[in-house]
Each structure stands twice: as C-alpha cells, then as structure tokens.
Amino acid sequence: MPTLTKRVPAYRLHKASDQAMVTLNCVDHYLGPFGSEESRAKYDRLLSEWLSAGRYLAPVSPAGTTPSIAVNDLILRFWEHIASYYRRPDGTPTSEPAHFRGVLKLTRRLYGSTAAIEFGPSRLRAVRQAMIDRGWSRRHINHQVRRLTMMFKFAGAQELLPASVYEQLRLVEGLKRGRSTAREMPRKLPADPRLIDAVRPFVSRQVWTMIQLQLLCGCRPGEIVILRGSELDRRGTTWKYRPEQHKTAHHGRSKTIYLGPRAQQLLQPFLEGRDPEAFVFSASDADVEHRARKHAARQTPMSCGNRPGTNVKRRRTRPIRACYNEESYARAITRACRLAFPPPPELASKRIPGKKGTRNETDAEWRTRLGAEQWNEVVAWRRSHHWHPHQLRHNAATNIRAEFGIEAARLILGNSSIPMAELYAEANEQKAVEIIQSRG
C-alpha cells in the first residue's frame, strides 16, 4: 500500500522545452517559462483547483472543453465525496452513504463503461425499471433515483459534466401510487401492544427499558440508544434530554426530549454509579448480565464442560460495542419476536443429527426442507408477528394525540409542522364514533 502524504505536486523544470510544469493525476501541465511570474501564478491556480476538487483535476482537451468521464469514474469520485461529506460534528460517518450503495452498484453494473455525458433520461428510466424488477418498493425507488441524480448534480458543480445533463435527468418524474408496477409498501402503523409485551422475557433489561422510554416520550431509536448521562438536564420535575446527534442536527436545529416521572424511574437504575460520559444503555453490560444468567442456570458441574473464561475468543468476529446502535437494537427485537412467536409445528425448524448428538437445522436447510410454498408461509407468519422500534414512535404519538390533541403530539415529537406529526399520530376513531353517537 503506498504511503499517504500531505505534500503537493512540485513546480519543476521541463528541460527539453525550458518550461515550468506540474503533474496532476498523471497528467503533465505546462505553465510557461520556468521561473516567470506567469508560470508561478498558473501553478498556484491549478493547485488550488486541484485541492478544492479533492485532489482531482479533470483533463482538458486541446479545444478547451472538458471531455466526459465514464460512469465508473464518476461513481468513484462521487463516493469519495459522500464518504467525506456525510459526517457528524465529531467526525464519525453517518448512515447516509450506505443508502447510496445499492443504486450506485446497480448503475455501475448497467452503465459503468458508458460515457457519463451520454447518461440521459432514457437510461435513468432503464435503471429505475431494473429496481422495479428487483422488487424494490415505489417510495424507495423514488428516493434512490433522487440520490442517483445527485451524482450528476455533483458532476456539474465540479465541472466534470455540463449542467445540462443534470437538468435533463430532473425531467424524469417520480413513480406515482397506482400508476406503476412497482411494489407498494403498507403504511407504517403503531405496533400491536400485545406483540410489544410478548418480547419482554426475550430481551435484555437495557432493550426493554429503551422500548418503554420510546413509548413514553416518542423519541427515535437512534436517539435513545446514544443517551448519555451528561446530556440529561435533571433539574426540575421534568428531565430534558438534548442529544448531540439527531436527524436534523445538520440543519443547525436542536432537539429536546422530555422525560416525566415514569421515564425517570426507568432510567434511575442505569444512572447510579455510571460515568456521565458513558452510554446509559451499554451493550457490553447486557452481554455480561446475559452470561451471568446462563452461568446461574448452569446444571453441568464445574468439573465438567467449559468453565467461565476458558472458551472466550481473543478476537470476536463481531466486537461488542460500547452502546447499541439502530441495527443492533432492531436485531434484538426481531430475535425476540421470533422466540416469542415460533411458527406452527408443521412449519417450525427441527433438530437434525449433528457431529455431537443433534443440532438445529440452519435456515438454508430449513428452507430446502419446506420448499418455496411453505417457506413463504413462514415469512408471512414472521411478518404478522413482528414489529420494528420505529413503530414505537407511532404508538407514542397516537396515544398523545388521543389524549391531548395533535398540537401536543407535534410538540412532544419535535415535528416542525402538524402535517408531519400526522404521519406518526393515527386518528382516534373511537373518539370520533363517540362524538357521532352523542350527536345522534
């Protein structure tokens, strides 16, 4: 691997022509008579353009026009841009680049060797049709198309392509509901309270507390998993949690989450004796407690089998994080839903002979044994008995709206407008029925 350096390409002499030159991205640029003020000024200008473009300078043709680069090269340049752009104030990357990955891979597979200047509306529609054929949902496709056009907007701003390429792609309208063959996703509704209560025996106390806090205050999963004691204002009867990282932080907005007496009672055991800068809900603490429970339930004598600490891996394939993240939090709930609601016996996984007695069959073996039709029944069963932590925000908003009104739901959720709050807060149909019955 080459050694990374902060040095810039040197101003040097081309002996054959007695001119000054500089090499940028393997292209020689001649600057004029060596040592002249003109050559020095041109060197400074080229170097400034090269650095401002991320150490890249598009080659210039003899006619003075910038030739088009291939889609592959444009994707590489754009990926470098979004990897450095989508970062939090502390320098850690956000999850946004991962959302670009799917559409960029698909575009590269279809049109990677094509000149980027030839990528017009017809080819954008072809990429969109490939998304439809892959079974992507309509709303997700529209989001991905917008992300793809952002790449050509970036290319225009960097003078890699004419701005007209981006303007043409903007003419492609998004897919409309009921007017395309793209799959429609059902509207996200509040989770069934019975499904929520059923997972309690199968999750750690950290995960269960986060679930309860979401139901009480309506915060997002990404906000509750990074809670620190130092971000809690515990003055007064209502605590205020002001997370440094939240959905609209890059717009310069602040977020306040209010925690009442019940939420404070849930949090108190996790705050006692903990460093204020440490995460309140520690994944490593949950792992230690899980191992302690398994050891307490151990029936094998200590003189037989593995003893604590004898089978610990020095390097885990998936290291335990200091805190949960959105993905690990959602995985814990998904795993708990599958344990709480196993499929019917005729569809359930079985134990099969293994090297030492019997073992559970893998998902691949299970799927092969059932066949496509029955496996689809297993998938449908899991979907009907599953919920996601994002739905808990809908639960909280709906309950607040039913008791205090839509304006209260907007304030508690931190939405900027009432229409945005209505996306989360379902209307109270029972209340409407009672009003109509009273009016006759």
Q: Which domains does the chain have, with CATH numbers?
A: 12-52 (no CATH), 71-169 (1.10.150), 350-384 (no CATH), 390-439 (no CATH)
Q: Are 208 and 200 in contact (CB under 8 A)?
A: yes
- Summary count for the chain: helices (H), strands (E): 17, 8
- Alpha-carbon gap, residue 29 to 44, rounded angstroms: 12
- Alpha-carbon gap, residue 227 to 217, rounded angstroms: 13
What's the whole-number mean pLDDT along residues 95-103? 91
Q: Is the full-model pTM beyond 0.75?
A: no
Identity at 190, one-letter amino acid code: P
What's the whole-number mean pLDDT along residues 298-322? 76
Confidence of residue 419 (pLDDT cuts 50, 70, 90): low
pLDDT score, position 2? 43
Q: Which of 59, 65, 74 is nearest to 107 (CA)?
A: 74
Give residue-wise pLDDT tens across range 51-84.
Answer: 766 676 655 544 444 456 889 999 999 999 999 8
Under DSSP, is residue 369 helix (H, G, I), strand (E, B) or coil? helix
Q: Are 152 and 139 in contact (CB under 8 A)?
A: no
E strand intervals along 184-283: 232-233, 239-241, 257-259
- Alpha-carbon gap, residue 59 to 76, rounded angstroms: 16
Under DSSP, is residue 150 helix (H, G, I), strand (E, B) or coil? helix
- Alpha-carbon gap, residue 49 to 54, rounded angstroms: 9
Under DSSP, is residue 63 helix (H, G, I), strand (E, B) or coil? coil
Question: Is residue 426 over pLDDT 90?
Answer: no
- Give 235 or 331, the one with higher predicted confidence: 331
Token pair, residue 395, equals 């639960």
Task: Report the mean per-residue pLDDT for the chain.
Answer: 83
Best-predicted range by mean pLDDT (86-95, 179-188, 306-315)? 179-188
